[in-house]
């Protein structure tokens, strides 16, 4: 990433920037060369940043009114909904914002999978991204416990009981997590503390994620490296800023559609029942964005096996840059990979659907098939595709879409050279 050193105009600015290069950083971010062929699937990074900030702001405000005590938590949220000025708005924004955050992150991840953004030299972007995703899931899980409704209590009980499956130390770990013999006040308090902390860890990792991105620069839909001197990039500001802003607004429209007109649609009615350790709900389900993992967990017959496979399903994603051995980046030029990609998408959606169903009959069989496919896709199919797939011919650059079609300049050169035999380069 070679850039000329930025020299600020005013003396004061130079004094400041030479000591704390914020102005240089700002200059880098505005001038950052972005491939000019990016499509709208590349706007989700900006959307995710917006939602991270929105969740932090609404979350800190809610924390001004929420009480983390098992006797008072549910009531404190009703207090927010009823008494705090605009409390209902801030609470609904935070709850639905969480869903939007995950919707955006899944689109963002699947964009990466399709266009090969996980491939060298972008492995660290992929890995920091996965750590962010893991932190997001932990944050969301702990956040969902805070209202201390029936689903809060029982989903947390189920998940924390999973650790009991670990041989030898399982029981101790579970008791350590709970701070007691079951989910209770100590658990609620520590979840509150960590739920407040993790988003700032996410923020730090996002900084690393973007830093790692700015080293090689963005990937693009055809997966061919851009050449900076061939007019193939544009400055981030104002082009990408405006494009990201537009995409953000559309997504916010959808988000506010939920907040104002269907604020409880993505939630579960049982969480409006105060937690009762003596009454288990008929169907315990996590929030929709955790359903695929829930389905994998229940698909495996053994308790420990389910836990292992559930964590493995995320861990193998870490290995993806080394499992996907194809030299071709983008699925645009990988016809077979493209097909398997869509199969994977459907399987993951299927797993989400099954995660909400009772683990009986046909649902169990399908969950096992889908889980099997998921692992086969990453562990077997991708490495094989890398070795044997016949990819489509690649263009030389993002300006020349296909190798066969010569550009006008090249055509002139070719014909002229044929005609005389003289060195074509002299034309320049």
Q: Which residues contact 363 (CB under 8 A, 6 or more apart)?
A: 354, 357
- Pairing verdict, β 233-235 and 33-35: antiparallel
Strand ranges for 116-243 from DSSP E: 233-235
* Beta carbon of residue 7, minimum distance to another protein (angstroms, whole number): 24
When the beta carbons of 183 and 366 are compared against another protein, the nearer one is 366
Give the span between the Cα atoms of 248 and 47, in whole angstroms. Answer: 5
Q: Which is nearer to another protein, 75 or 171 (CB)?
A: 75
Q: Closer to another protein at the Cβ: 168 or 253?
A: 253
Q: Write the binding mask 73 to 112 for another protein: x where contact by CB under 8 A, - elsewhere.
A: --x--xx-xxxxxxxxxx----------------------
Residue 412 in the binding site for another protein (CB under 8 A): yes
| 334: nearest Cα among 116, 37, 122, 38 | 116
**Closest to another protein by CB, 181 or 419:** 419
211 binding another protein? (CB under 8 A): no
Rule CB under 8 A: which of 232-251 touch another protein? 234, 238-239, 242-243, 245-246, 249-250
User: Which backbone phi and psi does 285 adopt, to 5 degrees?
Assistant: -135, 145
Q: Please list the residues that pair with 35 across neighbouring strands.
A: 233
Q: What does the block give as tokens for 259?
A: 């907040």
| 261 forms part of the interface with another protein (CB under 8 A) | yes
Closer by beta carbon to another protein, 211 or else 260? 260
Angle of CA points 354, 377, 98, to nearest 5°: 50
Q: What distance in Å separates the CA atoms of residue 405 and residue 176, rounded to the nearest whole number? A: 66
* 316 contributes a contact to another protein by CB under 8 A: no
CA distance 122 to 220: 12
Question: H-type helices in 69-223, by residue range?
Answer: 73-82, 87-115, 123-145, 150-162, 170-178, 185-214
Residue 33's DSSP bridge partners are: 235
- Using CB under 8 A, which of 29, 173, 256, 318 touches another protein? 256
- 415 touching another protein, by CB under 8 A: yes
235, β-bridge pairs: 33
Q: Binding segment for another protein among 5-13, 96-104, 188-196, 333-341 (CB under 8 A)?
A: 333-341
- Tell me which of 4, 420, 421, 423 binds another protein, using CB under 8 A: 420
Question: Using an 8 Å Cβ cutoff, are 297 and 306 in contact?
Answer: yes
Task: Please state the closest distance from residue 148 (CB atom) to another protein, in A.
Answer: 13
Residue 199 interacts with another protein (CB under 8 A): yes or no: no
Stretch that binds another protein, among 45-53, 162-170, 175-183, 405-413 (CB under 8 A): 405-413
Q: Which tokens sit at 174?
A: 């579970």
If the CB atoms of residues 181 and 261 are measured against another protein, the closer one turns out to be 261
Biggest CA–CA distance in the chain, Å, is 93
Q: Which residues bind another protein (CB under 8 A)?
A: 36, 57-58, 61, 64-65, 75, 78-79, 81-90, 234, 238-239, 242-243, 245-246, 249-250, 252-253, 256-257, 259-261, 263-264, 269-270, 272-273, 282, 336, 339-340, 343, 346, 350, 353, 360, 362-363, 366, 369, 384-385, 388-389, 408-409, 411-413, 415-416, 419-420, 427-428
């Amino acid at each position: 990433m070679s850039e000329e050193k930025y020299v600020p105009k005013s003396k004061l600015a130079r004094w400041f920037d030479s000591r704390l290069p914020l102005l240089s950083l700002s200059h880098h971010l505005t001038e950052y060369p972005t491939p000019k062929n990016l499509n709208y699937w590349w706007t989700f990074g900006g959307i995710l940043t917006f939602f991270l900030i929105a969740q932090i702001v609404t979350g800190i405000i809610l924390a001004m009114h929420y009480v983390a005590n098992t006797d008072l938590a549910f009531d404190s949220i009703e207090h927010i909904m009823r008494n705090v000025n605009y409390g209902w708005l801030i609470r609904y924004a935070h709850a639905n914002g969480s869903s939007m955050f995950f919707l955006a992150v899944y689109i963002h991840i699947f964009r990466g999978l399709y266009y090969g953004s996980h491939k060298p030299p972008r492995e660290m972007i992929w890995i920091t991204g996965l750590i962010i995703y893991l932190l997001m899931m932990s944050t969301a899980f702990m956040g969902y416990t805070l209202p201390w409704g029936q689903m809060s209590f029982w989903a947390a009980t189920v998940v924390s009981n999973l650790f009991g499956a670990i041989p030898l130390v399982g029981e101790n770990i579970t008791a350590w997590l709970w701070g007691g013999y079951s989910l209770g006040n100590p658990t609620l308090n520590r979840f509150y503390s960590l739920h407040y902390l993790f988003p700032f860890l996410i923020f730090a990792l996002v900084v690393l994620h973007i830093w790692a991105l700015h080293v090689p620069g963005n990937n693009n839909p055809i997966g061919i490296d851009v050449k900076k001197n061939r007019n193939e990039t544009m400055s981030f500001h104002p082009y990408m800023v405006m494009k990201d802003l537009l995409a953000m607004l559309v997504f916010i429209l959808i988000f506010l559609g939920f907040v104002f007109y269907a604020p409880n649609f993505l939630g579960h009615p049982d969480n409006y029942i105060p937690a009762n350790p003596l009454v288990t709900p008929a169907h315990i389900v996590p929030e929709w964005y955790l359903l695929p993992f829930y389905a994998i967990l229940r698909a495996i017959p053994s308790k420990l096996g389910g836990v292992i496979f559930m964590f493995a399903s995320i861990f193998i994603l870490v290995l993806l840059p080394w499992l996907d051995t194809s030299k071709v980046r983008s699925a645009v030029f990988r016809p077979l990979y493209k097909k398997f990609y869509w199969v994977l998408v459907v399987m993951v959606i299927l797993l989400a659907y099954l995660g909400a169903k009772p683990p009986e009959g046909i649902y169990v069989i399908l969950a096992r098939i889908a889980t099997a496919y998921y692992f086969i896709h990453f562990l077997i199919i991708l490495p094989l595709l890398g070795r044997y797939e016949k990819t489509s011919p690649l263009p030389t650059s993002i300006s020349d879409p296909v190798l066969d079609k010569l550009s006008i300049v090249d055509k002139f050169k070719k014909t002229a050279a044929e005609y005389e035999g003289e060195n074509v380069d002299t034309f320049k």
